[in-house]
Structure 1
């Protein structure tokens, strides 16, 4: 049986500001729906990812904006990811060299922290 993570909630204070940020860094806008007053569901997918993020209003998410700091994304090249983010004006930190990978991190406008990992080359 396969278990696939498909959606992670990211708490934000300003939905439109978050949409602008995630669009700027290259995420694909999947949905922006308001099925009824008080509920707005926005979904974005990072390029090449099978897992999306969601944010909005009235979603019942218990995390406060800025508390999501557990998302880790694998990228093919940490240096390229760092240059890409900085080229877009995103304050990104890295490259942190570890035995288990090379890491870049950045925050969204609400302070939710993302970690990008380039996996180590263990040889074939």
Structure 2
């Protein structure tokens, strides 16, 4: 059985501000539909992704900015970061984990899933190890995104 992740719901406080942000970031606008004053859906897809995001009015009761650790996989972390920065998106500097372990989170003290003692180190992984270099950013509400450089997929992926 195939189970394909298709859509992630993002809680936002201002639909038009979020729409402008994701357009600026280069995501493809797939839908902006309002059926009443209380319900509006805005649907975007990141470039090259098969999974999309949706936000709007009446879409979710989750707190704006509460979604963290949304990974965008890129083949060149520095190029991807530069493109987002060039589009006016505030993105952290590229970093890696000194211990080489899994990183998940955002540098503003938000949700992280790191082993105690892990250290965030400036710059890409010294060997440019696949799955080893990161940069992160947030939308205007604080929903957290992580760029991760993957140059060779793990077996079975």
Q: TM-score, normalised by structure 1?
A: 0.89
Greater strand share, 1 or 2? 1
Structure 2: gaps (5+ residues) = 101-130
Shift of 1:121: 4.6
Q: Aligned to 2:31, what secondary structure does the other structure show?
A: strand
Determine helix, strand or coil for the equivalent of 1:101. coil
Report which of the two structures shows the higher radius of gyration computed on alpha carbons. Answer: 2
User: In structure 1, what is the equivalent of residue 76 of structure 2?
Assistant: 77
Q: List, as ranges, runs of 4+ consecutive aligned residues in structure 1 with deviation greater than 6 Å.
A: none
Deviation at 1:84, TM superposition (A): 1.1
The answer on whether the counterparts of 1:70 and 1:113 sit within 8 Å (CA) in structure 2 is yes
How many angstroms apart in 2 are the aligned matches of 1:88 and 1:18?
15
- TM-score for the superposition, normalised by structure 2: 0.72
Runs of at least 5 residues in structure 1 that lack an aligned partner in the other structure: none
Quote the residue 1:88 is aligned against: 87
1:42-99 deviation digits (Å, cap 9, x = unpaired) = 100001100000000111x232111111211111110011111221222111311244
Contact 2:24 2:88 in 1 (8 A): no
**What is the distance in 1 between the residues matched to 2:150 and 2:75?**
7
